[in-house]
Amino acid sequence: MNILLHICCAPCSIGPIEELRKDGHVLAGFFYNPNIHPYSEYLKRKAEVDKYGKVVGLNINEAGYNIDEYFQHIVYNEQSEERCPVCWWIRIVKTAKFAKENGFDAFTTTLLASPYQDHDVLKSICEDVAKNYGIKFHYKDFRPGFKDSQAAARAKGIYLQNYCGCLYSEMEKIEKKGR
């Protein structure tokens, strides 16, 4: 299949790219992450995705930085159990639309590689969005390769962030360390 891979960051893309290619799929990347804050962090992560894409021969598409869309959708949903599903939905909708409009057979996401995301909720969002936009969602649990991907990123000198991306996740990380 010709699959559009939503990429949240370069380290989390390593395993999914390898797995999907090993399964015989043709891939292109899609970087849409309006949740990442501050803008300098967004630029750093985007640069790493572009750099890694060149290394592995993966075309990276970008939908731009639209933090206004992120904040408009999560207002009054700031707690992580509400915020995260909304954030995933924003990114998955944009990915599915791009995949459908550009002739891809399916889409998937590197968010499925993270043991820190609610996998079942994320999978359900992807399935619902796929149905609504008339495109296939290619499901694969990439979590078993997470630690290997992180180790590979370190070995390759790829920037590894220490929070999911949004302002709230950064604050939660700092507050957790302070306890």
Task: Specify the CATH superfamily of domain 2-178.
Answer: HUPs (3.40.50.620)
Collect all residues with Cβ–Cβ distance below 8 Å to 177 and sequence separation of at least 6: none
Divide the 179 residues of the chain into consecutive groups of 10 and give the mean pLDDT of each group. 97 97 98 96 97 98 94 79 91 98 98 94 98 98 95 95 86 78
DSSP single-letter state for residue 60: E
d(CA 29, CA 59) in angstroms, rounded, equals 6
pLDDT of residue 78: 67
Model pTM? 0.94
Name every residue whose Cβ is closer than 8 Å to that of residue 70 and which is 6 or more positions away in sequence. Answer: 34, 35, 87, 90, 166
Ramachandran area for residue 71 (φ above 0: left; ψ -120 to 50: alpha; else beta): alpha
pLDDT of residue 176: 80
